Structures are given as C-alpha cells and as structure tokens.
Amino acid sequence: MAAARTMQVGLLLAILGSARATCLKPGYDMGDSANSCGYAPEVKVFGGPGYDFSAHSWIASKGITTEAVGAAEDLDSATDCQALCLGAGADYFAYDPVALCVCKAEYAEASCYPLYAPYESSSAMIAGPASCGTCFRVDHDMGADFNGCGYAPEVKIFGGPGYDFSAHSWIASKGITTEAVGAAGDLDSATDCQELCFGAGAAYFAYEPDQLCVCKDPYEASNCTLFGERTNITAGPTVCQDCFRGSDMGADFNGCGYASEVKVFGGPGYDFSAHSWIASKGITTEAVGAADELDSAMDCQALCLGAGADYFAYEPGQLCVCKEIDGYSDASCVLYGLNAGAPDITSGPTQCPGCIMDGYDAAGSANICGYAVEVKIVATTGYDFSEPSWIATKGIPTAHTDNLRTPYDCRMLCMAETGCAFFAFDAMKQPGKGFCVLKQAYSHPSCEPQYGADDDIASGPLLCKSTIKCGMLDDACCD
C-alpha cells in the first residue's frame, strides 16, 4: 500500500509539474458555506497520528468517516491530503496543516458556485480537486469488479488504428460496439478517451494506454462504488463539473502579465469609462440590455463564448471580461490566481469539458439576428410534432428516433446532419420524450450572443473547443 501511495503521489507531482497551472489554491477552502448551495458533502476526514477528531463536533454530527494516518509524514503536505482524498474516492480536498484533511464530493448541481472561497480562519488552508487540472482519477478504473455490483454497462470501446479487439473475448461475449480510430494521435491520452466517450453518449470513460478506451454508463443502483484502484488506468466522467473557479483568470498575479482581453460586458447602461485600462487597450465593450442577462458567472461564460473568447472573468455588479490565451504560450504562465483588489471574481473557460450549456438555448431568440435556421427536428418515437405549431409554420423537416435520451444523443444527431452547427435538447416539451433541434450557423459573425437563458434546454456547438462561426462549415450555411 505504501508503494502504491508513493506512486500515486509521484503521479500527482508529475501532473502538477506539467500542468499549465497548478490546481492547488492556497488560502482557499472548497465547498464551504460561502457557496450558494452550502457545504459540499464530506466523504472522509483524515488527521495526523492519534488525532482527536472529537474536538470537531460537526464531524460526528454529520457521521463522517475519519482516519488517523500512521505516520506524520503521511499527512504533512497538501499533496499528501490530495492523494489520500483521491484514494478515498473524493472529488476535492481541503487541507489545513494545523488541523485536518477534509475530502469532499462534488455538488449535485453544476450551478453551485463558486467552488472555492477565501478561508478566513487560516491562511494556511489549501484546497483543490483530488486529481489536478481535471476530473480524471489516475490509477483508478470505473465500474469494474472492485465492488459487489459487477461491471458497469459498457457503451462502446475504442482502440488505436488497426487494434485487434478479438484479443479480448469479453468484448464479443457482451456484444459491445468497437471502433478503431483513424490515427494514433486520436487516442494517445485520457483526454482523447474522454472526448470519444462523450461523443458516444457515455457517462464515464476508462483509459488504459496502448490498450483500450472503454466507455461506460452509470450503475442503475445508487449504492455501487464508481471508482476503484487499478494500476495504469485513468478514469472519470465524460463531462467534468469543475469548470468555475473562485479566482481571477489571466491577471497580474504572474510574470506573464494580463491575458489578452477580447471583449468586456457590463450591465445595462454601464459606464466603461470608469476603467481607463479598457480604453487604453482599445477593448470592445457592450452593455447588455437587461440586468438578468449578466447577473451570474454562467451568464458571463455564455457571453464570452459568443464573443469567441477562451476564458471569462466575472465580477458581480462590475464587469464580465472575456479573454484569450494567445499571449500565454509559456507553460509557466499561471492561468488562475487571487485578485487582491476583487476577491469575489469567478472565472473559468468559456466551454467546460463536454461544452454542454445546461439552462441555455443555442442560436435562439436571445441572438440579435433571431433564431438560426433550423435544419431538422428529431424527437423520440411517439412525439407529436403537430403540438408546437411553429414547426409546420416554418416547414422544418422532422423525424423520430428511438435513441434520444440526453443532450449527447442530440449532438450525435447534429454530427450526422449536413449543415448542423448547433443543437438544442429539450426533454420537457412532452415529458419523457426527447426533443432535439438541429440548427445552422449564423450568416454573419456579428450575430451574438450564441446562447440565451432557457431553463428547460441544454445546448451546445457541433464541436467542442471552438466557437462555430461562419466559414467553419460548408459555405452553404452562410449564404
């Protein structure tokens, strides 16, 4: 066990050394009372040898499992705490050198933010995800034979070019769909596996280098352990939830200076002249039309995505700054850090992994150009297309399918439809039946924002990692 733990810590340190930005946040706690959802669920609490956990009444009152490590050096750094929490199956950790290592699960709702907040009781507190930079679990498999529930349902299996899947008899015996990717570079990292499984509509992935990428669905039972230790496998969900950070992005906290600002948004009638740096840099500004269009970090994220930016930084009641990282080519440039002058900033990428925008419609009525042209509407078998009258009025082609349960299925339909650039999934119009609208790109690059709030809809672009603009698809979509 000690050898395994040493290997795990080594892997974490390697990740920290190679990552674009460290995921450890000094002076911050994760999932505390500052969050709109309250405290994140505690998975386990570790302490030093002989630690007196009874000194903290909240531990017993919540019924949290505790463990005192065997030696002081097993818990004398934030990395030790991180490794212990990873082994305990937690998503995050919070480490206080004079007290505890608290392992926490992610929030049930992606809207719970900020994840991190300054910890007033101790500036020595350090928090972060259990696996740096991503939601990946190194040396862990997902849904395998380590629990009493057996294997999680396999959705699809990917291998390298020309991979011999027949070498694994269990694949054929279970009738699992397989696919060999076209080039070695399409499956040479856990991130590649994550994206392939996302595209296959799976909820989880498990990646073994030079072997297989197995895409899986969750267990039906809620008491089945999802992750367990397995050397040389990296696993995780196909959509990471840790996207927003309780810190600024690309500011003056590192030696690389400020990241390039693409655009700055403010509330209705906002006075941008109060910030001389905006004019001095010649940054484009825009005041939104209504207060509720910029009253959350998610609003800022959507606006910056529509503006073609890579990242956003949102300061409530002030500004939404959209940024790109062209000037951060040096891997030593820290992306996120504390802004002493504005500690309530929330930032992150404009597209979280998986780039599903939950609670937003894509290319809809919020856009100054109106709705994008609908290419096709697909719904679950039995859906009554005559109910929404606008479908017939616009003459939009329709079709039924038996495979439309999630926004991921909707994206797959978009991939298969010529001219589709955006998709919007709605499971509420006729409950129990998925409704997927496939849309073209706008004809002009000034058509924005690409996303507008709609509680019932989850939407996104055809391809992650980029904003769909005119010219990225067939020219016909831009006529």
Query: Could you tell me which residues are beta bridge partners of residue 457?
Result: 426
| Mean pLDDT over each residue of the chain, to the nearest integer | 80
Q: What is the pLDDT of residue 466?
A: 39
pLDDT tens-digit series, residues 351-382: 665 566 767 788 898 888 899 999 999 999 99
Query: Which of 104-113, 160-169, 310-319, 394-403 is predicted least confidently?
Result: 104-113
User: Over 162-184, what HEC string results?
Assistant: CCCHHHCHHHHHHCCEEEECCCH
Q: What is the pLDDT of residue 355?
A: 63
Q: What is the pLDDT of residue 243?
A: 60
Q: What is the pLDDT of residue 20?
A: 23
pLDDT tens-digit series, residues 186-216: 888 787 888 788 778 788 899 998 899 999 9
Q: Does the structure show a pLDDT above 70 at 23?
A: no
Q: Can you give the pTM of this predicted structure?
A: 0.39
pLDDT tens-digit series, residues 427-464: 777 877 889 999 998 877 678 777 787 877 888 887 65
Mean pLDDT calculated for residue range 312-329: 84
pLDDT band at 221 (very low <50, low <70, confident <90, very high): confident
Q: Does the structure show a pLDDT above 50 at 13?
A: no
Query: Could you tell me which residues are beta bridge partners of residue 68?
Result: 47
Instruction: Please list, in sequence order, all residues whose beta carbon lies within 8 angstroms of the beta carbon of residue 342, skipping any fewer than 6 positions away.
Output: 248, 315, 318
Q: Assign 18 to helix, strand or coil.
A: helix
Q: Does the structure show a pLDDT above 60 at 241?
A: no
Q: Does the structure show a pLDDT above 60 at 240?
A: no
User: Which residue has better confidence, 133 or 8?
Assistant: 133
| Phi, psi angle pair for 349, to nearest 5° | -75, 155
Q: What is the pLDDT of residue 18?
A: 26
pLDDT band at 109 (very low <50, low <70, confident <90, very high): low
As to burial, measured by CB atoms within 10 angstroms (0-12 exposed, 13-18 middle, 19+ buried), residue 98 is: exposed
User: CA gyration radius for the chain?
Assistant: 24
**Sequence letter at residue 324:** E
Query: Which of 14-28, 180-194, 214-228 is predicted least confidently?
Result: 14-28
Mean pLDDT calculated for residue range 223-234: 85
| Phi, psi angle pair for 326, to nearest 5° | -55, -35
Q: Assign 193 to helix, strand or coil.
A: helix
Residues 116/106, Cβ–Cβ less than 8 Å: no
Q: Assign 259 to helix, strand or coil.
A: coil
At 146, list the tokens: 């380590």
What is the full DSSP assignment across 60-101? HHHT-EEEE-SSGGGGSSHHHHHHHHHHTT-SEEEE-TTS-E
pLDDT tens-digit series, residues 65-103: 999 999 998 898 887 898 788 778 788 899 998 789 999
Q: Does the structure show a pLDDT above 60 at 158?
A: yes
pLDDT tens-digit series, residues 130-149: 755 446 777 889 999 888 89
Residues 247/342, Cβ–Cβ less than 8 Å: no
Q: Assign 118 to helix, strand or coil.
A: strand
Q: What is the pLDDT of residue 330?
A: 65
At 231, list the tokens: 């050397």
Q: What is the pLDDT of residue 323?
A: 92
Instruction: Please list, in sequence order, all residues whose beta carbon lies within 8 angstroms of the beta carbon of residue 412, skipping any fewer than 6 positions away.
Output: 199, 201
User: Which residue has better confidence, 240 or 217?
Assistant: 217
Mean pLDDT calculated for residue range 213-235: 86
Instruction: Please list, in sequence order, all residues whose beta carbon lies within 8 angstroms of the beta carbon of residue 274, skipping any fewer than 6 positions away.
Output: none
Residue 301 is classified by DSSP as H
Q: Does the structure show a pLDDT above 50 at 11?
A: no
User: Which residue has better confidence, 59 or 26?
Assistant: 59
User: Which residue has better confidence, 329 or 248?
Assistant: 248
Q: CB 139: neighbour CB atoms within 10 A?
A: 18
Pairing label, strands 42-47, 65-68? parallel
